[in-house]
Amino acid sequence: MAIAIAAFLMVLALGGGAYVFAGAGRERQQKRLAAVTKQSAQLRGMKGGDDTNAIKRKNVQQLLKQIESKASEQKQRVTIRRRLDQAGWADVSTTMFWIVSGGLGVVVGLGCFIAGQQWFVFIPAAFAAAFGLPRWVIAFKKGRREKKFTGEFANAIDVVVRSVRSGLPTNEALRIVAKESPDPVGSEFNKLVEGLKVGVTLEQGCKRMYESMPTPEVSFFGIVMTIQQKSGGNLSEALSNLAGVLRDRKRLAGKIKAMSSEAKASAMIIGSLPVVVMGIVYVTTPSYISLLFTTKMGNLLLAICAFWMSVGIFVMRKMINFKH
């Protein structure tokens, strides 16, 4: 019995060996090996893709941090020359600005002195005319120019998107915008194109555009162009999304303006009421209100009232202006 069992096991072992060496089941083995190899390759590919995406995200984050730091430095160093450029007065020199400011201060101060006003009236008036009024005019002009630029900027980006999708290079698309867009969009893109002609990089050109037009929209445009240049990607799709974002911001600004119109009207009425009442009283009974202009105490009261009215107007302005 023992010999029979041993012989059976030996025959079984020899048969199994012959079966293996004969190649039976090789197709199934190859299928299993191919499946395992494919899974390993997919895992390595996914791992490599994740590493590549992580590196790209890291590079983009570092680039955004650099752009934000540069923007913060630019905001801290705003000179009179840059304010004039932002207002669209590039032809006005800094010397001319200071001459006009000093002349306004002297004229207002002399006018108050000739009118018989006290020193604590004509000195603040001359100071406000020399240092406050010119800067207010520049800020007003700058705000109007930025508003006009923002209104046409989304359309300019759409022109760039259509030009890039049609096969034109980026520089040619920017040149088309510079020629066909109205000012100030056309002038700003013209500066960008002229800079690219003389060797300025696109990143530096966008930085200069932001210095001349410091709006969030221009900052977004510079970030998109810089990231696309350094990291690659679909420029037309990125700019198309940016144009949609800019239009949404414009729509939100209009909605905010409509919702705050009642508060703005109330603030204008409240702010103008004391001046209107004083004018009516001066017309009807000038002897009653003339003490405010002819006596020292009256002049002091006028100065205090003007200060507190300015504080109230400033507070109301902060309450009705919303950032978006």
What pLDDT shows up at residue 99? 92
Contact 222, 67 (CB under 8 A): yes
What pLDDT shows up at residue 145? 92
Place of tokens 């932001």: 210
Contact 196, 169 (CB under 8 A): no
What spatial distance separates the first Cα and last Cα of the chain, rounded to whole Å?
96
Contact 69, 236 (CB under 8 A): no
Q: How far apart are CA 186 and CA 172, in angstroms?
A: 14
Residue type, 287: S
For residue 170, count CB atoms less than 10 angstroms from its CB and return exposed for 0-12, middle for 13-18, buried for 19 or more.
middle
Reading the block at residue 57, the tokens are 């995200």
What pLDDT shows up at residue 8? 61
Find the DSSP H helices in the chain. Answer: 2-21, 26-76, 80-86, 94-114, 119-127, 133-165, 170-180, 185-197, 202-212, 216-231, 235-259, 261-284, 286-289, 291-294, 296-320
Distance of CA 131 to the CA centre of its chain: 28
Q: Give the CA count within 13 Å in the CB-facing half-sphere of 234.
A: 9
Q: Is the dihedral of CA 68, 177, 79, 134 positive or negative?
A: negative
pLDDT in tens, the chain (324 residues): 666 665 666 656 565 555 555 544 556 656 665 665 555 555 455 545 455 666 656 655 665 566 566 555 555 567 888 888 888 888 888 899 999 999 988 898 888 888 777 777 778 888 888 888 899 899 999 999 998 998 889 889 999 999 888 888 888 889 999 888 888 899 899 999 998 888 888 888 888 898 888 888 898 888 888 888 777 778 888 888 888 888 888 888 888 888 888 878 888 888 888 888 888 988 888 888 888 888 888 888 888 888 888 888 888 778 777 665
How many other CB atoms are found less than 10 A from the CB of residue 263? 13
Show me where the domains of the chain are located: 2-64, 83-258, 260-324
Closest Cα to residue 154, out of 259, 257, 251? 251
Q: Which residues have C-beta within 8 Å of that of residue 225, sequence separation ≥ 6?
A: 202, 203, 206, 235
Closest Cα to residue 269, out of 313, 215, 217? 313
What pLDDT shows up at residue 6? 58
Coil, strand or helix: which one is 124? helix
